[in-house]
Structures are given as structure tokens and as C-alpha cells.
Amino acid sequence: MFPFDTAALPQLTTRKALIAVDLQNDFVGTDGDAALPVNEPEGFFARAVALSEAFRAAGDVVWVQSHFDEPRPVDSEPGILVSDRPSLSSSSSSSRRPGRRSRPKPPEEPGQDHGPEDAPASPPDPEAFLSGEMSTCVRPESPGAELAPVVRAAVRPGDTVLTKTHYSAFQGTPLLRVLRAHMVMELFICGSLTNVGVYATALDAACHGMAITLIEDCCGYRSDARQARAVRSLVELTGCDVATSEELLHVMQPKEKDSKPPVSPSRAKAEEDKPPLSPDLVKPMTGLSLVSASPENGADEQDAGKLTPSASSSSSPSSPAAVLHSNENDDTGRSAADLEAERIAPSRPTASSSSPEPSPTDDGTPLPLCEGDTHVIANVLPPSLEHDIFPRLRSEIQWQPMSHQGSPVPRLVAVQGTVSTDGSVPVYRHPADESPPLRPFSTAVLAIKDQVERHVGHPVNHALIQLYRDGSDHISEHSDKTLDIVSGSYIANLSLGAQRTMVLRTKRVAGDSRRVQRAVLPHNSLCRMGLSTNMKWLHAIRQDRRADRDKASAELAFGGARISLTFRSIGTFLDPDRGLIWGQGATAKTRDDARPVVNGQGPEAVAMLRAFGMENHSSVVDDWDRLYRDGFDVLHIRSAPRLFASADAIVNMRLALMLSELGVSHAKGRMAATGDDDDDNQADAAIKFIDNDAARTEVKGQVAIMLYLDACYGGGQTARREELARRFTHFQRAIRLHDLVRRHRSACRTKRSSRAPSESVEREKHSNQDPLPKSLTHELGSWNGVTESLSCPPFLAASSPSLPDFALWPVLHAVVGLYGADLVLGRWDGLRRYYDAFAARESVRELLGDGDVGS
């Protein structure tokens, strides 16, 4: 490309806008007549009004009010959060590619069962005020639909006032045209309901490529949990900033003029005429971002004169790795105090510039990052290893998906490590439902490991390898979990492939502003992070939504894919064959005291996840002992299987006992009765089991579920043929006994309903004296013969409870409850022994309580 004068490029000014959503009487009215009063946080709308007065010097002010026109189904809107259940993040966007703009998907509710299509719709949540058939909120021409008096008084002639009939301010309004006409590319959003109008508006703004700041203390809410979920979801889905009105007002105050001597016109002209460092550094109209700026370095080009080179200044894969983007109060950080005055000041045309990228120190060492213990080191692998390492790794590694809270993470993963002669392996635990199995270091990864150890100065024994397939793949802000990481070691992340940017941000500390730094990670670079930085800073690889035309050549290299190898020194170990765990992060600290691993979402898993969450937020050194000293034996934290109970207590008990005896932890649901619970087919079909495998296998009907559990969890596939024959024969007979009891109970209810009231009262006095029906007596006698001739007592087909026991015992328990133990079991010794043996099981005690259950 031929050189040209960058000063001749057109200079475009972009603007900012404050969007205030739904500050109407029905939400913030002071006369007590608000249809949906929003009172938290106290004084939020007054702060919004005060902010609007100061904001006009920096940009436009837009007031948006809602009117109910027709019901807006919640699932057809861009997204509102009106449930108190915890959400599953749907941040995975592997199907989205750079250059394509689609609305971020709001969180889904876990285990939500929408029921049959013809089931009557439940009334919408009150906060879904535009979704009811006869909404009493924001009715047109009603006083509640008008802007609150204090808000109405704050509207100025230059402001824009819009009326919407959807939750989002962009739906069905000219807002987007108004903003584009004014060259607005940066929005500051507040309003009456964070999780409704503000949330929907912010999602749509992100779709249109707007930079977004959420003014947290000017956003109202009725539920703390919903507000927290909405803010967290917006940060993850849109990459928005979060600020307070006080911080914005502070940075909007006029700053003292710089005392630096003026630059002479001739010198200024010389600076403008200086040829660019590289033709690729010149980006026309860098101030305008019609496609959203990269979340990784979207604001760097505005920070001319700071130690913040543009992304394209590192376009060569082999460029020095000290390409630090450092900004003490960065304006694209995700917190309140990360905003700078230039973000709020009125936009001014500035010449496109590229400040020189920071060079290594005079002795050749890279510049330190964060707490001074973190560096990015270039050209880690020698040419003989580097030249084909990326395609080798991509083809030879067995990539697998990984899930977090039931949703796949937006990247592929693999785990390799050192396998000891006794078969034990290091184990690194982090908030994933289930990590891939560790495989021995491959030849290629072993060669990389040797080079990494030269730079960190200690052995590493574990590598988490991740494939970012394109700019859509990312990892959310986090700090590495140090439960299993050896104290004093480094976390070493080797980058191969397309260049990405790591964004590091300090954790929240009361009274301190949060700092942000960026480290560009080119091909063949090593980010060597110390544990002090990991303790006080969060780091992320953000989604890069830019079109390919806006990316540097290094960011497009290798087809836009990046392989990340994170090497760690791990002090916790696992014996995979015996299922034992010990070491630094386990409850047992030595191999001799090793204990069995724990899987599933039990109390210990919940405690470990809580500790992980605290480490993600805490920056205090002394917290480690408090969080992790006792250790955890949890390995896999899967989302639990779900059992949706039926209306039949015997069916529910069968499956509850079976799941408990097989050690299958599960979440509980309940399905509405589908008909008369005396109908065998209806009661059987009403129960459902959803497994926690990748396919979320769904099984319906008690018989199908019990056979499925026996095959998948109970060893049914490996039993001998004669044992299988006993199991299935007794199982079928137990199902038949249940059918008999059902019919008898139905007949008894019919008989009772036909009696005269006086006769019913007299019968109730002597209900325990009713004789057993002949058919039931005959069947129980037959079962007594079975129990007296058991080949492996005390249970029907094995020395421990199996499929037929789970089917039979709950029926016996129900019959004993109807007629009494003496009448049912008094004449049959074999049946009594069987009943008492099962009743003594811990699973029965947990299900029915600690009282006496036996005969």
C-alpha cells in the first residue's frame, strides 16, 4: 500500500445519549397509586433526573415511556427476567460468527417444563406488565402512564420523548433512527425496572453495535435477586459497563487545563505529516464504530498518548509480546469506576494515531503487568517446534465440549498431565459440571511443557488445553481457582494461533476504583501470571464481535482459531482406578489417607462452589486458609438428574428408594396429574425422569424408568442370566401386585361413597378390623412363599436390594398402612422378615423419617 497523509482522512464525531426508560407514575408515582411500585434503590429516579441535567453537556437525553397496546408474550420479546429461579447462562455462541449481529440470548430457566401446548397459560408475573390480557399498568391516557411529575419537569426542549408498546425502547419506535441521525454510538441506560425495560433495551442496543453503560444506582428494581441476575447477564451477554451516577457526575466535571506548554503549529503539522509506522496501522474513521468495537480493545484507539497501542500495531504473529494495553481506569472495563472523563466529555474529532507499543526494558525483559508478577513473553517456542505446532495440536488432541451449570462453554477443551508410575494423576478443579478425563502428555505438548518450565522456573504437571474456534469463542471474567495450585508457582498460558487480547481487571474493593489492563497475546507468546495477580485481578478473553474487515492480520491468522495451553503445578492427586483423592486441595493430605471422590451436587459440592465464588470476588490473602484449608473431595459437579413425581405415592416411593439405593442424586419436580390416579395407564405415564447425560435423556413411565435405572446405574447389564430371570420375574409380579392394590383401593372408595353418612361413621370406628380381600390375601401368601425360599436372603434376587425389591416393598408398605402390620404380616413369617429387613435400610429411614417403620 502506498503511503498517504492521515491528516487528510475525514474526521467524524460520534455522540453519546442517556436513555431513561419507564420513569412513569405507575412505577415511581409518589401518591401511593402506582400500579407496580418500584422503590429500590431509594431515590433512583431522582438521581436519574439529576444526571440528565449534567449529561446534556455531553450528549443527548431520551425519555422513553410505555403504553399498553396489546399483550406482548414474554417469550417473543428480546428478553426480560421475571423469574426468581436461578438461571443457566446461555453465553455459548459457537454458532455466531464475527460480522453477524444477532440478539444475545437471555438466560434460560433450568429444568423448566413448559407442559403440553394446550395447557392453560399461567398468569404472567406482575413485572411482565405488557404481557397480561387486561393489564392495569400504563394504560393509555391513564395518569399512571404519564411521566412522573419530577421527571416531566426535567424534560427540556432539546430532549427526545418516545412512547413504546414493547419492553424494549427500540421495538416499534424511531429510537434507532434518532440515534443514528445524531451519530450516537454510546448509550447510558437507566430506568424503573432493571430486569424488564432496561434489560430489553440494553440487549437491543447491543444488537445495533452500541457501546453500553448501565447506570446501576439509577435503575430500579423490586427484587434483589432479579436485579443481580439482570446486571450479571447484561455484562456477560453485551459486555456493558456498570457505573453509578456519582461516578459519572464526577468525571463530567470540567478538568483543570493541562499545564503543558503549547505545541507550535509547525510541530503539530510535523506530527500530523509523520508517516505511519505501518500501512496497516491506518484505519479510516477509527472514531466511528458502526459495527460494535472489539470488546477486547474497542476503546484503545481513543486513548492516544497513553501506553495503549491499537490492536493493529501487533499484527505480526512474531511481534514482541510486551504489547500491553495499560489503563489505570479503563473506559471499557466492566465496573462503575472504570470510566474516564474522556468517555463522558463531548466527542471531538481526533486524528487517527498510533502511539508506539511499549518495548521491553533495556535488559530485554518484558514489562510487568498488574501486581508486577505477571509478564507476556514472546517467541517461547523455538522455530523448529513452532513452525507446525498449531496444526499438529489441532489435529492430534481429542477435543471435547465442557459444560458449566448445564450449558456448554463456548470453546472446546482437553486435559493432559503427568501420569505417575502408580497411575495417579494431578487434578485441577474449577466450576465445570464435569472435566474431561486427563490423558498423558502427548509428544507435542511434552515438548511445549519443557520450554514453559524454562520460563517459569519450576515443574508443571497439568495442562488445560482450550480451542477457541473463532472470535465468538470466549471465556468470561474469572480468577483461576487455587484450591489445587501449588503455592508460589506460576500459572503459564501459552497462546498459539490467532491473536487475542486478555483483559485483566481488579476485583472490587470498597472505596477503590477498579483498574483495567490489556495484554495482547500473539502467536507463540506466554502469559506468565503470578498468584498475587490472580488473587487481586480477574482475567477474560472476551468475545470479538468485529467483522473480519476490522481485524488485524494477526487476529485473522490460522483461520481466526486460537489454542491456549494453561500449564499449572498441581498439588492434588487422583487415583482414577480406585476413585481416591488426596493432596493439597483434598480432605486427606497424603496418599495413605486418601478418600473416595464425591460426585454430584451434594452439600460438599455446594460448599466448594461457594468457596470458588468467594475466591472470584475476594482479594484478601488470608482468605485462602478460610476457604480451602479443610479441602474438598468433589470431582465432578454435574447438574443433577430430575425426577418429576406422579400423583401415585407408591410409584413415587419406588423410584425415590431406587435412586437413593443406587446413589443417584437428583432434583425433584412435580407433574400435574393427567387424569384419575386410579387409572393404571394415566398414573404410570405421569412420572418422568430426565438424566444428566449430554443428551439429557428423558424417560417416561415408572416401568420404563425403573428398567432404565437398573440398566444404567444398577448393574443390570452385567448380571448373570439366572439372576436376570429372577429379577424380571419378581419385578413383573410386583407390578401386578400394585395393580391389584390400586383396583382394591378404588373399589373401597366407591363403596364408601355409596354408604349412608351414619354407616360411614360406624365403619370408620372399625376400619382396622376390615378383613383383607381374598385376592390380596392369596397374592400376599404367594409372596410369603417366595420370601421363605430365597436363594440369597434377605432380598429377592441378590444380597442387596435390586429391581424387584424396589417394586415390591413400597406396595407392602402401603398395604401395611391400610390394614395394619399384624393383619398383613402376622400370619406370614417370611414376608415379615423381608419387610423388616428392607425397612431397616438407611434409604427408607431418610425417605420416611427416623420413626419405627418395621413391623
Q: Supply the DSSP string of 546-575, one letter for each residue.
A: --GGGS-HHHHGGGG-EEEEEEE-B-EEEE
Distance CA 817, CA 646 (A): 20
Contact 245, 51 (CB under 8 A): yes
Predicted pLDDT at 283? 35
H or E stretch at 167? none
Q: What is the pTM of this model?
A: 0.44
Which residues in 76-132 belong to E strands, given as ranges?
Answer: none
- Give Cα 183 distance to the centre of its chain: 35
Distance CA 793, CA 712 (A): 24
Predicted pLDDT at 458? 95
H or E stretch at 504? strand 500-506
Contact 678, 745 (CB under 8 A): yes
Residue at grid coordinates 488426596: 582
Cα–Cα nearest to 199, from 139, 161, 154, 240? 240
Predicted pLDDT at 757? 55
Q: Grid coordinates standing for 781?
A: 401368601
Mean pLDDT by 10 residues, the chain (855 residues): 58 82 84 77 86 87 89 68 55 39 49 42 72 78 84 88 89 89 90 90 87 90 86 84 84 55 44 40 35 40 35 36 40 39 36 38 70 93 94 87 56 89 88 71 94 95 92 85 91 95 86 85 95 90 87 92 94 85 90 83 74 74 72 74 83 89 72 44 66 77 90 71 83 89 75 57 49 83 84 76 89 87 84 88 79 57
Q: Grid coordinates standing for 64?
A: 422513553
Residue 540 identity: A
SS (HEC) of 758-811: HHHHHHHHCHHHCCCCHHHHHHHHHHHHHHHCCCCCCCCCCCCCCHHHHHHHHH
Predicted pLDDT at 88? 42
H or E stretch at 507? none
Angle between helices 803-819 and 649-661 (to 10 degrees): 140
Distance CA 28, CA 718 (A): 66
Alpha-helical (H) ranges within 94-166 are: 149-154
Predicted pLDDT at 694? 59
**Phi, psi values for residue 833, rounded to 5°:** -60, -40
Residue at grid coordinates 453509578: 244
Q: β-pairing, 491-497 with 562-568?
A: antiparallel
Q: How many CB atoms lie within 10 A of CB 475?
A: 19
Domains of the chain by start residue, with CATH: 15-90+129-252 (3.40.50.850), 375-543+550-575 (2.60.120.590), 580-628 (no CATH), 640-718 (3.40.30.10), 732-855 (1.20.1050)
Residue at grid coordinates 515443574: 459
Please give the C-alpha separations between residue 301 and each of 289, 296, 306, 308, 647, in angstroms, as whole numbers. 11, 12, 10, 8, 64
Predicted pLDDT at 717? 57
